[in-house]
Structure 1
Amino acid sequence: MSEKVLTTEITEDAENRHAINCLTDAVIGAAIEVHRALGPGLLESAYELYLCRELPFRGARFERQKPIPLNSKDVKLDRGYRADVVVGDAVLVELKAVETLLPIHEAQLLRYLRLSGLPAGLLINFNVRLLKQGNKRRLLDSVRSVAF
């Protein structure tokens, strides 16, 4: 019986990873479309707005500026931080419009992932000539069930 349970867990894990891959692919596709239309050099907020206009065309549910609570010992801040965009309750998207992505930007993405409990994150920098030069995808070790 333990083999059956293990097989089920592996199958569910593979299905969840596939769902996350589909979501991240949709976000990256939308970001590429936004970058083609707008190019580099604008404020992060402009890219966020246009990305959120593009996501529904790809069938992706999302929330803009979603609060990420911060809980530490006796202090609870319901709105400690905000994720730029959360897609499908599974992918946290952190947008940048900077000359160069720095290690602190990736650390911020990882911290937001840990605080939010979301399994996947994308760090997308629109201030580049080619968008593939400006994005990073990160997964937390544990993948939980996701819904589109």
Structure 2
Amino acid sequence: MNADTPMRDAQTHAIIGAAMAVHGELGHGFLEAVYQEALVLEFATRGIAFQREATLPIHYRGKPLSCAYRADFLCYDDVVVELKAMSKLTAGDSAQVINYLKAARRTKALLLNFGAPSLEYKRLVLNLRESAKSADNSSPPC
């Protein structure tokens, strides 16, 4: 697992650009739902493929659980996007998204924080082969 490896790809670049446009227009201080709604409009304007409140199944020992993780967005059917609107991101926020990636068997995520004076973002990458060794010890969120 490598949570801080930059993913300089066109998809994450486009998503971050859309988030910067939203933050530039609205600033900080709104609830997360406001930024989510604005991102829907910005993604559509920019032609970014997305699912809002995408349900991602959670697996335990190779079997799907009845509970699932609901991502704020799933963009390009590949990138999990988690939104926050707090004064500062914490290590716990990153760990939460990494756990979501593990449980949902995804590899890329963006953690976007609209609550700071400047947009704060983290690209998170998960190596599924390395995380498979520890999957049996994970507690999926329900």
TM range (shorter): 0.7 to 0.9
Equivalent residue for 1:7?
none
Q: Percent identity?
A: 37
Residue 70 of structure 1 contacts residue 76 of structure 1 at CA under 8 Å; is this kept in 2?
yes
1:18-61 superposed Cα distances (whole Å, 9 cap, x missing partner): 8x711101110000000011110001111011111101222211
For normalisation by structure 2, the TM-score amounts to 0.77
2:38 to 24, 29, 50: 50
- Where 2:92 maps in the other structure, the secondary structure is helix
Structure 2 residue 102 is the aligned partner of structure 1 residue 114: yes
Residue 89 of structure 1 contacts residue 118 of structure 1 at CA under 8 Å; is this kept in 2?
no
CA 1:32–1:70 in structure 2 vs 1: closer, same or farther (change >3 Å)? same
Structure 2 residue 125 is the aligned partner of structure 1 residue 136: no
Count of residues in Structure 1 that have an aligned counterpart in Structure 2: 122
Flag as ranges the 4+ runs of structure 1 deviating above 6 A: none
2:29 to 28, 41, 66: 41
- Where 2:55 maps in the other structure, the secondary structure is strand
Residue 59 of structure 2 contacts residue 104 of structure 2 at CA under 8 Å; is this kept in 1?
no
Equivalent residue for 2:51?
63
Structure 1: unaligned runs, 5 residues or longer: 1-17, 143-148
Inter-partner Cα distance in structure 2 for 1:27 and 1:123: 11
More helix by share: 1
Equivalent residue for 1:11?
none
1:27 to 15, 34, 40: 15
For normalisation by structure 1, the TM-score amounts to 0.74
Residue 32 of structure 2 contacts residue 84 of structure 2 at CA under 8 Å; is this kept in 1?
yes
Equivalent residue for 1:4?
none
1:97 to 61, 64, 85: 85
Q: Tell me which of the two structures has the higher relative contact order, counting C-alpha pairs closer than 8 angstroms and 6 or more residues apart.
A: 2
RMSD, matched Cα? 2.1
Inter-partner Cα distance in structure 2 for 1:137 and 1:76: 27
1:76-98 superposed Cα distances (whole Å, 9 cap, x missing partner): 21x42200001001110000001
Inter-partner Cα distance in structure 2 for 1:72 and 1:87: 24
